[in-house]
């Protein structure tokens, strides 16, 4: 396998200071990227008989943990999807297919789903087990994973995805509001039944035609109780059942190896390294040193810098790079915090915006604007200071930069706080916290930038499905 040099544009977030207006600006210097002499870039080819195959990938967003319920980005979802499995997977057409469940039955009105589980699946060998040896997966692991979604110690994102399971909201509310376990009276989720070690039943409040698809989401990953740390916090030592087994984390690199006991097809890899959490200059330097083979979900300012107006790689990059538009959409959303009480101002701003202002050219995707229901009783309607919580992906930086510039033109100030979760003074967030609602959705193409010789690396069906065949 050839190793690759990839260059990425440095994005810098600047908040301008002044007495009257604060705006966010993403600045870039294409010259730094384009000044590289690609004629001197060399590739290293492994011998055809080399038994050790090592793939190194770079992820734009930081991988904070190996806990599916704490995932904040597609980067984390992709890693979790390599290590863990869900009850339901997706086939080559993107439709639901057996994974940990080998079959299922659905009643006539799609309110009850009975899943028969495989009995030959074992968790990866891991230090989380006292013997170091992975144990067999059972229906009790499904119960634990879904009940943990409702716990107070984890974010609410998965809970929102499965709130239509009968009794889920009641269980979630009690777990969240009653801190003393001795005072809780709801012992389980009413609509999650474990018939035996190989049968689970989900009963919903109402008919659902997408429940199986939701069971295939990385938020529905199954993991053993033993992997939960003793102290409150996310999983760091992962033990899944998926194609890849976690080895260790070294600084900003997560190391994986293929699961030799996996029942399906595994990539011809001995080791997979995924690098994340680096600033843009450091990523650029690693790519320039040929230390990475590909960059996943590359930000569109980088794509814009290495391509012409038609989206074709510039001549100096054609010999060494391959840019794939996966034709899979990643949704970058702006959520309004309902506690802010600024519905009227936000609607005025949304009415003034256009897709061109937000993302520029149509080749960067589509933008939806979703006006809020006006609340004339809200008490903050004269406040024209818009505040956003911390921003994750570089495409989101671009979206918020353009939103800030547009807002400034209509007399708003715009600032970004270092906090991830919204406070009462926060107008916008990039994550679907409780009591938030989407007001802007950017359906953006997912690009993969790799060395020209790298094969079998792509995103399929969903932004978290990384194919490494």
Separation between Cα atoms, residue 294 and residue 147, nearest integer Å? 37
When the pLDDT of each residue in the chain is averaged and rounded to a whole number, the result is 86
User: For residue range 161-177, what is the model confidence (pLDDT) as tens digits?
Assistant: 999 999 999 999 999 99
CA-atom Rg of the chain in angstroms: 23
**51-70 burial, b for 16+ CB within 10 Å, e for fewer?**
eeeebbbbbbbbbbbbbbbb
50 — pLDDT class (breaks 50, 70, 90):
low
Enumerate residues 6+ apart whose C-beta is below 8 A from 18. Answer: none
379 — pLDDT class (breaks 50, 70, 90):
low
The secondary element (H helix, E strand) that includes residue 409 is helix 394-409
Question: What does each C-alpha distance from 56 to 272, 276, 323 come to in angstroms?
Answer: 6, 11, 17
Q: Is the pLDDT of residue 3 over 80?
A: no
Biggest CA pair distance of the chain:
72
Separation between Cα atoms, residue 88 and residue 95, nearest integer Å? 10
Pick the more confident residue, 392 or 70: 70
CA angle 242, 243, 244 (to 5 degrees): 95
Instruction: At 435, give phi and psi (nearest 5°).
Output: 65, 35
What is the domain partition of the chain in residue ranges? 12-36+51-58+277-459, 62-261
Instruction: At 327, give phi and psi (nearest 5°).
Output: 60, 20
Separation between Cα atoms, residue 23 and residue 311, nearest integer Å? 30
Separation between Cα atoms, residue 352 and residue 412, nearest integer Å? 12
User: For residue range 222-280, what is the model confidence (pLDDT) as tens digits?
Assistant: 999 999 998 888 999 999 999 999 999 999 999 999 999 999 888 889 999 999 998 76
Contacts 24+ apart (CB under 8 A), 209-212: 209/110, 211/110, 211/113, 211/164, 212/88, 212/96, 212/104, 212/113
Residue 190 CA from chain centroid, whole number: 29
Quickly tell me which residue has 């998965």 as its tokens.
158
Quickly tell me which residue has 């544009």 as its tokens.
9
Enumerate residues 6+ apart whose C-beta is below 8 A from 238. Answer: 66, 83, 84, 124, 126, 223, 227, 246
pLDDT (0 to 100) of residue 20: 31
Average of per-residue pLDDT across 205-229: 98
Q: Parallel, antiparallel, or unpaired for β 385-388 and 413-416? A: parallel
Pick the more confident residue, 192 or 9: 192
CATH architecture of the region 62-261: 3-Layer(aba) Sandwich (3.40)
């Amino acid at each position: 396998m050839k190793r690759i040099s990839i260059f990425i544009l440095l994005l810098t977030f600047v908040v301008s200071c002044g007495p009257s207006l604060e705006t966010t600006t993403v600045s870039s210097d294409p010259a730094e990227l384009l000044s590289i002499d690609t004629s001197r870039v060399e590739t290293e080819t492994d011998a055809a008989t080399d038994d050790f195959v090592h793939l190194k990938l770079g992820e734009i967003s930081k991988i904070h943990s190996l806990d599916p319920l704490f995932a904040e980005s597609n980067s984390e979802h992709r890693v979790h999807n390599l290590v863990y499995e869900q009850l339901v997977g997706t086939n080559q057409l993107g439709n639901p297919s057996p994974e940990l469940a080998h079959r299922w039955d659905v009643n006539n009105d799609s309110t009850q789903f009975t899943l028969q589980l495989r009995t030959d699946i074992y968790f990866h060998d891991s230090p989380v087990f006292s013997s170091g040896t992975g144990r067999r997966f059972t229906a009790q692991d499904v119960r634990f994973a879904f009940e943990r979604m409702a716990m107070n110690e984890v974010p609410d994102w998965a809970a929102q995805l499965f709130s239509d399971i009968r009794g889920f909201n009641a269980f979630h509310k009690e777990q969240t509001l009653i801190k003393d376990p001795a005072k809780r009276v709801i012992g389980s989720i009413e609509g999650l039944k474990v018939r035996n070690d190989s049968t689970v039943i989900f009963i919903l409040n109402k008919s659902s035609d997408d429940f199986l698809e939701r069971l295939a989401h990385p938020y529905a990953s199954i993991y053993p109780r033993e992997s939960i740390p003793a102290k409150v916090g996310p999983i760091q030592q992962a033990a899944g059942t998926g194609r890849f087994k976690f080895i260790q984390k070294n600084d900003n690199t997560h190391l994986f190896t293929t699961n030799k006991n996996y029942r399906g097809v595994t990539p011809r890899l001995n080791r997979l390294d995924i690098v994340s959490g680096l600033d843009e200059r450091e990523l650029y330097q690693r790519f320039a040193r040929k230390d990475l083979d590909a960059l996943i979900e590359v930000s569109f300012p980088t794509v814009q810098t290495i391509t012409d107006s038609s989206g074709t790689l510039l001549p100096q990059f054609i010999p060494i790079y391959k840019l794939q538009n996966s034709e899979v959409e990643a949704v970058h959303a702006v959520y309004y915090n309902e506690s802010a009480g600024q519905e009227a101002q936000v609607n005025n701003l949304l009415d003034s915006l256009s897709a061109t202002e937000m993302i520029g050219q149509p080749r960067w995707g589509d933008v939806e604007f979703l006006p809020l229901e006006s609340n004339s009783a809200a008490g903050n309607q004269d406040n024209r200071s818009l505040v956003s919580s911390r921003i994750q992906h570089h495409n989101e930086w671009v979206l918020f930069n353009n939103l800030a510039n547009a807002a400034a033109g209509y007399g708003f100030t715009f600032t970004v706080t270092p906090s991830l979760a919204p406070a009462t003074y926060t107008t916008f967030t990039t994550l679907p916290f409780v009591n938030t609602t989407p007001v802007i959705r950017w359906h953006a193409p997912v690009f993969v930038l790799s060395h020209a010789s790298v094969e079998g690396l792509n995103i399929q069906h969903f932004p978290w499905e990384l194919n490494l065949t």
